[in-house]
Amino acid sequence: MDHLLQNDTPAIETESVELSVVVPIYNEEESVGPLITRIREALEHFDKSWELILIDDGSTDATLLNARKALGDPALRLKIVELQRNFGQTAAMQAGIDTAVGRLIATLDGDLQNDPKDIPAMVKAIEERELDLLVGWRKNRQDGLLLRKIPSWCANYLIGKITSVKLHDYGCSLKVYQASIIKQVKLMGEMHRFIPAWVAGVVPSSRIGEMPVTHHARQHGTSKYGISRTFRVILDLLSVLFFMRYKARPGHFFGSMGLAAGAISVLILFYLAVSKFLFGNDIGGRPMLIVGVMMFLSSVQLITTGILAEMMARLYSGENDTPPYIIRKTFERSTDA
């Protein structure tokens, strides 16, 4: 008999799952019903087993209630994970990836702008091209030019330059992953837009590809993002650069700046010493003396910080396994034998 499972009740898996479709949703009460229908129709003739995982990221409207109506569909393997509060898209996506049991994982937005009909073609492409990550490219993007397209173009250019992962569209949520690879990557903060860069940290960038996908204009509700996200992208990009290049050796990052500051201070102080002791000039009131001393102190501080960072990196190399989200309930359909 079919029944709904909540919280700690384990689901009974009767067959292996090839594809898990993960969709974070937040205040999409008008979109969630059509979204489920479109996904079911898009994968109706998919020749592999699949599951749909919806992550309700603390919605304050009827999103969860409308999503739960689909639990009565006996032809749909559906899991709904309700987070305790709004943790953000990255944490919601991480919750979905952790919940997924498929060999492949597809992610997309819950606002109907991504087209689920692209998923079968992307699954076929990631298999044929032997990729670990296939990213959707919204080649004909249906968004506003000033507030969405231009900031996105700038962000894509900067991300590509700094991370050396050349893609046209980092921000597209429609992606297909090898589950064994994406589960090695821990997503935090607002780092979902940098997933290709994080994946490039565990596999060669040659195993990351892209393909054009359909993009629709938003039909219901309002966008959760604005122009302010451009500034957050720049700050996040600096963090990505640090973690990609110096996560295992932070002492090199701080030590390089410390040595540079130390070299400048040595040159300044040497020049002042020659001026004082060989030529008898008064240097006590010269601003250059203060600059030299400050550069020396900065050098010592930066090198010391680098040493402490190295010690902390080694001490916590195992990393904290606490997930960046809290699940309130899990709703799932299971069929007893």
pLDDT in tens, 229-277: 566 667 777 777 777 777 778 888 899 999 999 999 999 999 999 999 9
96 torsion bin: left (phi>0), alpha (psi -120 to 50), beta (else): alpha
Mean pLDDT of the chain: 84
Instruction: Please list the ranges in the chain whose pLDDT falls under 70.
Output: 1-15, 142-151, 220-233, 314, 316-322, 333-337
Say yes or no: 8 and 118 in one domain: yes
How much is the pLDDT for 95?
Answer: 95
Question: pTM for the whole thing?
Answer: 0.75
Please report which helix (H) or strand (E) contains residue 268, including its range.
helix 250-277
Q: Is 58 exposed, middle or buried (0-12, 13-18, 19+ CB in 10 A)?
A: buried
**Residue 44 burial (CB count, 10 A):** 8
- List 211's β-bridge partners, or say none: 136
Helix spans in 69-118 (H) = 89-99
Say yes or no: 285 and 209 in one domain: no
**Number of domains the chain contains:** 2
Report if residue 105 sits inside a domain: yes
Say yes or no: 85 and 173 in one domain: yes
Q: What is the CA radius of gyration of the chain?
A: 26
Report if residue 188 sits inside a domain: yes
Cα separation, 127 vs 118, whole angstroms: 15
How much is the pLDDT for 11?
Answer: 45
Report if residue 236 sits inside a domain: no
Say yes or no: 209 and 85 in one domain: yes
Say yes or no: 44 and 182 in one domain: yes
Range of the structural domain that residue 279 is part of: 250-313
Q: Which of 58, 11, 52 is nearest to 326 (CA)?
A: 58
80-125 residue pLDDT tens: 999 999 998 899 999 999 999 999 999 999 989 999 999 999 999 9
Say yes or no: 37 and 182 in one domain: yes
CATH of the domain at 33: 3.90.550.10
Contact partners, residue 168, CB within 8 Å, separation at least 6 = 137, 139, 156, 210
Report if residue 321 sits inside a domain: no
